[in-house]
Amino acid sequence: MDFDTPLFDTALAEAWVRAIAAAVEKEQARLTELDSAIGDGDHGSNLHRGFSAVLAALDDLRPAGSGTVLTKTGSTLISKVGGASGPLYGKAFRAIGAALPDPAGPADVAEALAAGLDAVRALGKAAPGDKTIVDAYTPAVAAFRATAAAGAALPEAAAAAADAAEQGARDTVPLQARKGRASYLGERSIGHQDPGATSTALLFRALADVAAG
Ligand SMILES: [Mg+2]
């Protein structure tokens, strides 16, 4: 391995989680607005409460490996966040943490992120096109994998994943929700961006930002 290549290590794992917490804080009102349109309006406040608890948990955790940082993040989200998003993101982070070697190269990170997506799909039973987290997460993993397989370093793979996640979130606008509370609205869910796909895009953008250093 090229030693100039930045690796996903404990410091990066912690920086990623802290960057997500900051992004959730900044975008809380927007997430709530999106969830008010097609859900029950609690997505921003739920994630904000969850990641505030995660920050407190991380302060008690040091020193720990990157896998432990992420599994602790997941466990905290499961215990502190109501609605569907806590268990879904919680399981994702636990799966990512369990799959991640420390330190990890781009291909390792791609596979760990894919394990997180598998966990989301196993719990939520959502497929691409159902207007959920999966619609941002699936293209993000595909882009991360393809970019890493082409020999790109971590920052480049993470940036490609973030771009794909943001596009995937935008692409939920014309979809009719088939899972979650938004599905109760039927055709009235069309024309709104999915809040879960939107928070997933925040999560991948946070990874790209910290990987870029
Ligand atoms: Mg909600």
The string of pLDDT tens digits covering residues 66-91 is: 999 999 999 999 999 978 899 999 99
Per-residue b or e along 91-114, where b marks 16 or more CB atoms closer than 10 Å to that residue's CB: bbbbbbbebbebbbbbebbbbbbb
| CA 102 to centroid of ligand 1, rounded, Å | 34
CA 46 – ligand 1 centroid, Å: 8
pLDDT on residue 64: 87
Rounded Cα–Cα distance for residues 9 and 20 (Å): 17
State how far the Cα of 32 lies from the Cα of 133, in Å rounded to an integer. Answer: 15
Q: Flag whether pLDDT at 3 surpasses 60.
A: no
Q: Check residue 83 and give its pLDDT.
A: 82
CA of 185 to the centre of ligand 1 (A): 13
- Report the separation in Å between the CA atom of 75 and the middle of ligand 1, taken as the mean of its atom positions: 20
Partners of 149 in beta bridges: none
Give SS3 for 8: strand
Spell out the domain ranges in the chain. Answer: 10-211
CA 113 to centroid of ligand 1, rounded, Å:
24
- 109 Cα to the center of ligand 1, angstroms: 29
CATH of domain 10-211: 1.25.40.340
131 pLDDT tier (thresholds 50, 70, 90): very high
- Chain centroid offset of residue 178 CA: 20
Region 4-10 average pLDDT? 82
The DSSP 8-state label assigned to residue 177 in this structure reads P
